[in-house]
Amino acid sequence: MEFLSDDLQEYISAHTTKAPDYLDELERETWVKVLMPRMLSGHVQGQILKQFSIMKRPKYLLEVGTFTGYASHFLVEGLQEDGEFHAVEINEELEFLIKKYWAKHPKFSQMHLHIGPAAQILNDLHKPWDLIFLDADKAGLLTYYEQLIPVMPSDSIMLIDNILWSGKVTEPVAKNDKDTKAILALNEHVANDTRVEQVILSARDGIMMVRKV
């Protein structure tokens, strides 16, 4: 988020629809109890996900990298009545917190959590995904992308988070760490992929919107 000034971030935050109170509680509990609480999306990114979901009205919806489940609440807003939401998270210690707050959502019965490494779970979880939010480890990004793109129907959407990596994607190559290299590799791969059209949204840490053609 460092490429936007604090003043601009505050302005955007103040002029974006707030999260429901129970999600503010989840945010507080995440900050008190969980390591690396900054991984939680926040209400601005949440609203972006919610608007995509409402426009897309997905039947099959996937989140890869769920953390404490904050973004899931926004993603499921547009889910069809007979739709399925699947979320993948490697850290089993987060299951309690994810489910504690998911249970407050009216679509809880449609929300399925898979605990384990994403590459393994995606091998066995085959659905014609309409909307995907990719937000797990950067090292796995290319693998998940290639597991998912072939099974996505035409006009389905994949949103990939942290694609600008606090602006590190334009730093000199010699300074690139492992995660920056992984993100650069993915961005190049997508840019050369004729199966998709894509745009990088400069919201928050950069969100790549990929549409399967």
Ligand X SMILES: C[S@@+](CC[C@H](N)C(=O)[O-])C[C@H]1O[C@@H](n2cnc3c(N)ncnc32)[C@H](O)[C@@H]1O
From 41, 47, 53, 147, residue interacting with ligand X (rule: CB under 6 A): 41
Residues in 52-71 at the binding interface with ligand X, rule: CB under 6 A: 65-67, 70-71
Q: Is position 206 an interface residue for ligand X (rule: CB under 6 A)?
A: no
Question: Phi/psi at 25 (nearest 5 deg)?
Answer: -60, -45
Q: How far is CA 163 from CA 25, 40, 132, 135, in A?
A: 28, 16, 15, 10
Minimum CB separation from ligand X for residue 200, in Å? 18
User: What 3-state class would DSSP assign to 117?
Assistant: coil
For ligand X, the closer CB: 91 or 180: 91
Size of the site for ligand X (CB under 6 A): 18
User: What 3-state class would DSSP assign to 90?
Assistant: coil
Q: Choose the stretch contacting ligand X; rule: CB under 6 A; options: 3-11, 83-91, 178-186, 190-198.
A: 83-91
Q: Is position 102 an interface residue for ligand X (rule: CB under 6 A)?
A: no
From 23, 62, 88, 158, residue interacting with ligand X (rule: CB under 6 A): 88
Beta bridge partners of 111: 85
| Burial grade of 209 (CB within 10 A; 0-12, 13-18, 19 or more) | middle
Residues in 129-148 at the binding interface with ligand X, rule: CB under 6 A: 135-137, 140
111 Cβ neighbours under 8 A, 6+ residues apart: 72, 76, 85, 87, 102, 105
Q: Is position 25 an interface residue for ligand X (rule: CB under 6 A)?
A: no
Minimum CB separation from ligand X for residue 44, in Å? 11
Q: Is position 118 an interface residue for ligand X (rule: CB under 6 A)?
A: yes
In what order do the strands lie in the sheet containing 157-161? Answer: 111-115, 84-89, 60-64, 131-134, 157-161, 207-212, 196-201
Minimum CB separation from ligand X for residue 7, in Å? 24
Minimum CB separation from ligand X for residue 139, in Å? 8
Could you tell me if 52 and 207 are in contact, meaning their C-beta atoms sit under 8 angstroms apart?
no
For ligand X, the closer CB: 83 or 117: 117
For ligand X, the closer CB: 22 or 197: 22
Kindly list the residues in this chain that would bind ligand X in the complex (CB under 6 A).
39-41, 65-67, 70-71, 88-91, 117-118, 135-137, 140
